[in-house]
Structure 1
Amino acid sequence: MCGIVGAIANRDVVPLLIEGLKRLEYRGYDSAGIAVIDGRDVRRVRRTGRVAEMEAAAQSEAFSAQVGVGHTRWATHGGVTEANAHPHISQGVALVHNGIIENHDEQRERLRALGYQFESQTDTEVIAHLIHHHLTQGADLLAALQRTVKELTGAYALAVVSRAEPQRMVVARMGCPLLIGIGEGENFVASDVSAILQATRQVMFLEEGDTAELSRDGVRIFDGNDEPVERELHQSDVSLASLELGPYRHFMQKEIHEQPRALGDTIEAAMDVGFDAALFGDNAGEILKGISGVQILACGTSYYAGMTARYWIEAIAGLPCSVEIASEYRYRAAYANPDHLVVTLSQSGETLDTMEALKYAKSLGHRHTLSICNVPESAIPRASELVCYTRAGAEIGVASTKAFTTQLAVLFQLSVVLAKLHGKLDEAEEAGYLEELRYLPGSVQHALNLEPQIALWAERFAPKSDALFLGRGLHYPIALEGALKLKEISYIHAEAYPAGELKHGPLALVDANMPVVVIAPNDRLLEKVKSNMQEVRARGGELFVFTDQDSNFSESEGVHVIRTPRHAGALSPIIHTIPVQLLAYHTALARGTDVDKPRNLAKSVTVE
């Protein structure tokens, strides 16, 4: 959610700012704007809606400058209006802001007493006025920013320019991601590396509490005590091609089809070394061997990955495992066992609730932490003892697809590594799991080949207003994920239940207008699932069943069947994720919704 890009150069930065904002559109937003220093003037253009509308306005007004900042806003404080859109200006100071300032009301009253007037409902405008106030007290722009952030409570990533000091830009970070891009005679700031890949691949990640000053010729970084500090320079390996749509209609479709490659890349190391603890870090063997249980913390789709992992960890490794929604865990009096491994799951590595839950777990006495993440050098991995990166590549669509399945692949590997270290795995079982993993990308590709059949089902779903998803055991979390995907991008209300719970309440909803999706692989629970399906049919419900090639199913009136490849054993949940993703995608397509940018949602959730 919310995106920042800024640039200072010896060339016109307006095209760079606009292209950067386009690269950030995937994060979710409802307005966009840029502010530049043109000579001694601050010029600004903002629009609600898409970046393209703001771009047209900037072009019509002939915007051109060598320093400026841009922003895509996802509304928090104040509605979706041009007045609330960023950048915000206070008497020559222009800034953009990601995050939430918790003490903005207190600061607003203070500033009003000083004579400042407010044009927006946002918390961000408070920051602009505070910086200007400190400038009037004799501070330069950097010092004004450093004094301001010490007066703020909450989370922020800030980029600031001023007409009084057009030769530099200042930035700050607390709780929200921000990085600096290094160029030749030009430098950049962004909330996501994709925004500046057009100009540079050399990046430095700011730490919590950092402030920095950017000029054309260099960068100076200061820690939370305003002391000069060095941050490591990294070469980004994000591919520009991964940010292009290519032959697909939407990024979500592209990313669904990239899953065989993403899974192959993620499991590549295991194919070389087997289920070795080194997959999770140099000292992981000693740490993982000493734990007595696992605590998983995650949000949204990642939470469902954690739910699946609980089945694997308890069944394969024989260790207790609990899974909690991070936003709930961080606010309750949780019990901490120092010998349990805390596993955090986050696609972006910047999910605020998950980051805060990790901090809370540490404060309770948890000693060992593992981050599973798709973005190197992001905040959660940096705060974790052990790290394992999924290799999904850039994921642009707001609805997560390949990030989810690669998380599952890593969690499966963790389950088997734990089993091996704790003496719960013999050589034959290990070889069997490795063979299942080796076949995984091919099995996913076979599931993708079902797309034409699933697209036909989607035509039947498109007119509906509700849907029900059922699964049992390992596949219950996949039913949850299927329901989430459908409601995220098609706006059809969908719920998921363990199939055995149907008769305990949800059955009251079933009628001819409620399609019921059943995930029914050929496992030991298949006969139980068939009984639950009969309960649906007896009430006139229409069933849409995803099963396996080797299951004994046949279509009949009101029962539609699509068969994925042969039963994939413990990895079956990953295979059955593919059809529910495709069903959601094609249903949204049939309904004409904005697949990649669903309303009200954002990709990287860095606020509460």
Structure 2
Amino acid sequence: MCGIFGILINPISDFPVKNIEATLRRISQLSESRGKDSSGIAFRNLGSKTIEVIKGDVPIHKLLKSKTFEQKLNKSLESYQNGNGFTAFGHARLVTNGSQLQEVNNQPVIKNGLLLIHNGIIVNVDEIWQQNTDLKREFLIDTEIILSLLRKELIKEDDLVKASSNAFSQLEGTFSVACMFEDLDQFVLATNNGSLYYLTDHTQYIVFASERIFLKKLQEDNSFQIFDKESEIRQLEANEGLIINITTLDLRPFNLLSKDHEILQSKVPTAFQTNKFLIDNLHSKNEVVIDPAYFIIRSKEKHLFGLLENN
């Protein structure tokens, strides 16, 4: 069980930066209840053509207090004020594989020009690596296989829906993901179990999170009132996805099991450069890895296994 969240704002919008910051901080803090072992947030800055990732083996409330986060947030808000829009997404992690002490296992996971956050457990990850000998495994975290499959399919397919569906169809287990690309002006949300919710006015902003209650609480905050008072919280149902054009905020739903509707990749003229900034936990260096298959007695703790496996 992990928490994924994010906010995308259209370049033509004029929301006050203080409200954007408050909204990002609030949805981040709400998501921490789903995982406190590590955390990360990424900002996409159109003006500098950079994606800046802050992550570490700390709970997200500590990451939000770091000087690095403050600096990168302010840089991204300044870019927004210059007419470049605002895009940020993040992760609050409960470790189920891949030590949080190795930064490559913490999320967003970065590989092959993709950045991805993942809630869930892929149970056939070893088999997929064995079946795809052309792919190189570098990390311990199961999420890595999703990025590797996506890039492989994107090379073969111009259609982003088909590439995504081809990649996701190979996964067994549960996943709710958000993916950003260095070379595309698009953002993908997808889930096979329905643990993904969003708020949007369809023109200026979209906010997403792992639980409906997080968005409900966000709507009650005074700082969020400037965005929208009336939008309905929507759920991405099982095997549904959403492709978001970052520049126009055009939202295009798709079905993970169908390849009928085509959405071509929207390439950016110059690929973004991803920069990583690591936050160290100075108080604890104890490895935390929860393996639900071994450490949860299913007969006695079935409800906990359900949280890990199905959310």
TM-score by structure 1 length?
A: 0.36
Choose from 8, 26, 34 the match for 2:33.
26
CA contact (8 A) 1:8 1:187 kept: yes
Q: Which residue matches 1:58?
A: 69
| Cα shift readout 1:294-343 (whole Å, capped 9, x = no counterpart) | xxxxxxxxxxxxxxxxxxxxxxxxxxxxxxxx9549x9xxxxxxxxxxxx
CA distance in 1, matches of 2:260, 2:236: 13
Choose from 129, 144, 160 the match for 2:163.
144
1:420-569 equivalences in 2 (<5 Å):
none
CA contact (8 A) 1:214 1:220 kept: yes
CA RMSD of aligned residues (A): 3.1
Choose from 193, 207, 217 the match for 2:212.
193
| Cα shift readout 1:212-236 (whole Å, capped 9, x = no counterpart) | 212354422223432689xxxxxxx
CA distance in 2, matches of 1:15, 1:145: 32
| Cα shift readout 1:462-518 (whole Å, capped 9, x = no counterpart) | xxxxxxxxxxxxxxxxxxxxxxxxxxxxxxxxxxxxxxxxxxxxxxxxxxxxxxxxx
Q: Which residue matches 1:177?
A: 195
Q: Aligned letter for 2:189?
A: V
Q: SS at the partner of 1:147?
A: helix
Q: Aligned letter for 1:58?
A: F
1:111-260 equivalences in 2 (<5 Å):
111=132, 113-118=133-138, 120-166=139-185, 168-175=186-193, 177-183=195-201, 184-196=203-215, 197=218, 198=224, 201-215=231-245, 216-226=248-258
Alpha-carbon shift at residue 178 of structure 1 (Å) = 0.8
CA contact (8 A) 2:197 2:212 kept: yes
Q: SS at the partner of 1:152?
A: coil
Greater shift, 90-99 or 173-182, is seen at: 173-182
Q: Which residue matches 2:80?
A: none
Q: Which residue matches 1:43?
A: 52
Distance verdict in 2 for CA 1:6–1:145, change over 3 Å:
farther
CA contact (8 A) 1:96 1:158 kept: yes
Distance verdict in 2 for CA 1:36–1:155, change over 3 Å:
same
CA distance in 2, matches of 1:14, 1:89: 24
User: Which segments of 5 or more consecutive residues in structure 1 lack a partner in the other structure?
Assistant: 230-325, 332-345, 354-603
CA distance in 1, matches of 2:170, 2:21: 32
User: Which segments of 5 or more consecutive residues in structure 2 lack a partner in the other structure?
Assistant: 12-16, 77-84, 219-223, 262-296
Q: SS at the partner of 1:94?
A: strand
Choose from 41, 65, 68 the match for 2:88.
68
Distance verdict in 2 for CA 1:224–1:181, change over 3 Å:
same
| Cα shift readout 1:99-140 (whole Å, capped 9, x = no counterpart) | 0001111223445x325351x310001111111111121334
CA contact (8 A) 2:31 2:209 kept: no
Greater shift, 147-156 or 84-93, is seen at: 84-93
Alpha-carbon shift at residue 169 of structure 1 (Å) = 1.4
CA distance in 2, matches of 1:15, 1:91: 32
| Cα shift readout 1:114-171 (whole Å, capped 9, x = no counterpart) | 25351x31000111111111112133444322211101111000111112222x3111
Alpha-carbon shift at residue 91 of structure 1 (Å) = 2.3
Distance verdict in 2 for CA 1:134–1:92, change over 3 Å:
same
Q: SS at the partner of 2:167?
A: helix
Q: Which residue matches 2:268?
A: none
Q: Aligned letter for 2:71?
A: S
Q: Aligned letter for 1:192?
A: E
CA contact (8 A) 1:29 1:72 kept: yes
2:104 is the alignment partner of 1:96: no
| Cα shift readout 1:8-52 (whole Å, capped 9, x = no counterpart) | 212676764443111112223211101233233332110111213
Q: SS at the partner of 1:157?
A: strand
Q: SS at the partner of 1:22?
A: helix
1:291-330 equivalences in 2 (<5 Å):
327-328=298-299
Alpha-carbon shift at residue 92 of structure 1 (Å) = 1.9
- State which structure, 1 or 2, has the greater radius of gyration over its C-alpha atoms: 1
| Cα shift readout 1:377-419 (whole Å, capped 9, x = no counterpart) | xxxxxxxxxxxxxxxxxxxxxxxxxxxxxxxxxxxxxxxxxxx
Distance verdict in 2 for CA 1:157–1:24, change over 3 Å:
same
CA contact (8 A) 2:162 2:259 kept: no
CA distance in 2, matches of 1:95, 1:155: 15
Q: How many residues align?
A: 241
| Cα shift readout 1:155-192 (whole Å, capped 9, x = no counterpart) | 000111112222x3111111351112213411232112
1:374-393 equivalences in 2 (<5 Å):
none
What percentage of residue pairs aligned between the two structures are identical?
Answer: 24
Q: SS at the partner of 2:164?
A: helix
CA distance in 2, matches of 1:142, 1:161: 14
CA contact (8 A) 1:141 1:165 kept: no
CA distance in 2, matches of 1:170, 1:6: 12
CA contact (8 A) 1:89 1:95 kept: yes
CA distance in 1, matches of 2:237, 2:258: 13
> 1 or 2, which has the higher strand percentage?
2
Larger RCO (CA within 8 A; separation ≥ 6): 2
Alpha-carbon shift at residue 2 of structure 1 (Å) = 0.7
CA contact (8 A) 1:88 1:124 kept: yes
Alpha-carbon shift at residue 203 of structure 1 (Å) = 1.8
